[in-house]
Structure 1
Amino acid sequence: MIRVALDAMGGDLGPRIAFDGAVDILSRHQNVVITIYYSPCSGLNLPTPNERLSLVVCSDVIDGDEEIVLSLFRRRNSTLYRSLDALAQCSSDVVVTVGNTGAMVALARHILGLLRPKLYPALIRELYSNPLRCLVDLGANVHCPPSMLVGFAELGAAYIEALSDETPKVGLLNVGVESTKGSAVIKEVDGVLSNQSWPMYLGYAEGTELFEGEKNVIVCDGMVGNAVLKASEGLLSFMMKRFGNVDGASSLFETFYQTERRHGACLVGVRGNLVKGHGCSDLTAMIGAIEYGIDIARADLYSAMKARLCNEIL
């Protein structure tokens, strides 16, 4: 059985999306059990618990706009804290949340711990699933020194190896491919990666290489990655609205969005499997995020990445 800990709070549309998503998932996946962590609120209709669906009442919710302060780590009865603690206690195999990204990263580091010392966690988003291609980081880290970006390359490469038969080929997102371009940080990362035997490093990548080309791990800092991702999603949404009525266009866009791209991102670099969904997730996106969590739990992603990054000499 795959055991999912689902943080139902924090999304823009409220816990109903998480409830309905869990019920849908359980109707289609017989080898999954879900524990929902929620906080009571007026007018909330709860799903009926059964042998594969449990409800855990929590007295605290971390809102999406809360700052990361020390008191966050004392809020042990928040839905996010308790779902992560279940993962730390090995009573779940994966956590899925649509809550506060900063709080999620901070609490995951605090409760779960780092996969490897000085290897900072990063959010990975699959741009394609077949062949597997990913972007890292998406916003877990905004200000990144060279060592952090080198770590992102290693995390992305380990992710590719764990979930596919493909060889990781890393590119460093830059304003151009010429050696003279880029900040001092980017140039230093380029030098370090060029001298490592693993992962395979193919040099700078321009924005045009995000969705095609031989590089399947695109590395950048969290501010750039988040902006790139949301701009890409915004463009896709715009095109669906503008050209959705054109013959064949709507099905093409929907196929790209729903089958070529998973919903949500995976936080890697902590000691456990964790999926972060969009705060604005609708039912389809919530279901997709839970299914993503099931996939990485079934592949035992954390253990595979740990073996690659901790038990071998890079």
Structure 2
Amino acid sequence: MIRVALDAMGGDLGPRIAFEGALDVLSLQPDVAITIYYSPSSGLDLPAPHERLSLVSCSDVIDGDEEIVLSLFRRRNSTLYESLNSLATKTSDVVVTLGNTGAMVALARHLLGVIKPKLYPALIRELYSNPLRCLVDLGANVHCPPSMLVGFAELGAAYVEALSKETPKVGLLNVGVESSKGSMVIKETDRLLSNRDWPEYLGYAEGTELFSGEKNVIVCDGMVGNAVLKASEGLLSFLMNKFKGVNDVSSLFETFYQTERRHGACLVGVRGNLVKGHGCSDLSAMIGAIEYGIDIARADLCAAVEARLCNEAS
């Protein structure tokens, strides 16, 4: 039985989509149980009883715009804290949240710990799944020295190996592929990655290589990654709306959106499986995030990544 802990309070649309999404997933996947962490102050009617659905009422909610301060770690009755703690106590196999990214990362590091000293957890997003292609980091870390970017390359490569039959081939996102281009941080990261046996490093990657080419793990700092991802998603949504009603073109965009797009990102590098969905997720995106969480729980992604990195270090 895959046990999902679902933080219902982080999304812009409130807990309703979490309740509805959970019931939809449960109706399709008989080997899944979901525990929803919610706040009764939301005032919504609770879902109908289900033998594989549990509800945990929490007195506190961490809002999306809250700053990361020490008091965050004392808010043990918040939906985010309690759902993550279920992972720490091994009463769940994966946590899915649409909530505050900074709070999620801070609490995950605090409650779960990291899989390797000095390795910073990173958010990984699948740009598409067949063949698997990933972007890392998406916003878990903003100020990144070279050693942190090297760690992102390791996490991305281990992710690809764990979830596919692809050989990870790393590219470092830069303003050009010429050796003279890039900041001192990028140039030093390039030097460090070039001197490693694993993962295989193919050098700098330009923005045009995000969705095509040999490199299937694209590494960048969290600010760049977040901007790139949201710009790409914004362009896709713009084009879908622009060509809405134009039969062949519209159906092509819709097919790509529905079959190639993973809903949410995976926080890799902590001792647990964790999916962060968009705060603006609608019902279909909520369902997609839950299904993504189930997929990585089935693969026991955290254990696979930890084993790969520990094997590399030995």
| TM-score band, normalised by shorter chain | over 0.9
Counterpart of 1:22, as a letter, is A
Provide, for residues 264-289 of structure 1, a one-character-per-residue CA deviation record: whole Å limited to 9, x for no partner.
Answer: 00000000000000000000000000
- Give 1:284's aligned amino acid: S
Return the alpha-carbon distance in structure 1 between the equivalents of residues 252 and 134 of structure 2.
21
1:178 aligns to what SS in structure 2? Answer: coil
Q: Is the 8 A contact 2:114 2:270 kept in 1?
A: yes
* Shift >6 Å, 4+ stretches: none
Q: Which runs of 5+ in 1 are unaligned?
A: none
Structure 2 counterpart of 1:171: 171
Q: Is the 8 A contact 1:7 1:38 kept in 2?
A: yes
Look up the equivalent residue of 1:123 and give its one-letter code.
Answer: L
Whole-angstrom distance in 1 between the partners of 2:105 and 2:198: 26
Q: Distance in 2 between matches of 1:243 and 1:278?
A: 24
Aligned to 2:233: 233
In structure 2, how many angstroms separate the alpha carbons of the residues matched to 1:313 and 1:58? 41
Amino acid paired to 1:274: L
Task: Give distance in 2, aligned partners of 1:43 and 1:69.
Answer: 28
User: Is contact 1:33-1:52 (8 Å) kept?
Assistant: yes
Measure the CA separation in 1 of the matches of 2:119 and 2:214. 26
Check the 8 A contact 2:262/2:292 in 1, yes or no: yes
- AA partner of residue 309 (structure 1): L
Deviation at 1:250, TM superposition (A): 1.9
**What amino acid sits opposite 1:6 in the alignment?**
L
Question: After alignment, is 43-52 or 115-124 more displaced?
Answer: 43-52
Sequence identity percentage:
84
- Confirm or deny: 8 A CA contact 2:273 2:297 kept in the other structure: yes
For residues 288 and 136 of structure 2, the distance between their equivalents in structure 1, rounded to whole angstroms, comes to: 20
Tell me what 2:9 maps to.
9
Match of 1:193 in 2: 193
Matched, 1:58 2:58: yes
- Given the alignment of the two structures, is residue 293 of structure 1 paired with residue 293 of structure 2, yes or no? yes
Which residue number in structure 1 is paired with residue 218 of structure 2? 218
Residue 245 of structure 1: CA displacement?
Answer: 1.5
Aligned position for 1:38: 38
**TM-score, scaled to structure 1:** 0.99
Q: How many residues align?
A: 314
- Residues in 1 aligned to 2:37 and 2:307: alpha-carbon distance in whole angstroms: 31
Post-superposition CA distance 1:104-152 (Å, at most 9, x none): 0000000000010100000000001000000000000000011000000
SS state at 1:76 partner: coil
CA RMSD of aligned residues (A): 0.8
Question: d(CA) in 2 for partners of 1:79 and 1:144?
Answer: 30
Deviation at 1:43, TM superposition (A): 3.4
CA distance in 1, matches of 2:20, 2:74: 30
Q: Is the 8 A contact 2:15 2:42 kept in 1?
A: no
Task: Note the residue ranges of structure 2 that are not aligned, 5 or more in a row.
Answer: none
Tell me whether 1:304 sits opposite 2:298 in the alignment.
Answer: no
Q: Which amino acid aligns with 1:24?
A: D
CA distance, structure 2, for counterparts of residue 49 and residue 109 of structure 1: 34
Residue aligned with 1:311, SS: helix
8 Å CA contact retained: 2:4, 2:95 = yes
Return the alpha-carbon distance in structure 2 between the equivalents of residues 290 and 258 of structure 1: 15
* Distance apart, 1:256 and its partner CA: 1.1
Q: Counterparts in 2 of 1:1-314, with a 5 A limit?
A: 1-313=1-313
Q: Is the CA contact (8 Å cut-off) linking 1:174 and 1:206 kept in structure 2?
A: yes
Q: 1:50 Cα shift? A: 2.5
**Distance across 2 between alignment mates of 1:149 and 1:244:** 40
CA distance in 1, matches of 2:257, 2:268: 23
CA distances 1:128-181 after superposition (whole Å, capped 9, x unpaired): 100000000000000001100000000000000000011000000000000000
Aligned partners of 1:58 and 1:172: how far apart in 2?
42
Q: How far, CA to CA, are the matches of 1:60 and 1:199 in structure 2? A: 42
State how far apart, in whole Å, the 1-side matches of 2:118 and 2:9 are: 31
Q: Residue 250 of structure 1 aligns to a residue in which SS? A: helix
CA distance in 1, matches of 2:191, 2:209: 20
User: Could you tell me the TM-score, scaled by structure 2's length?
Assistant: 0.99
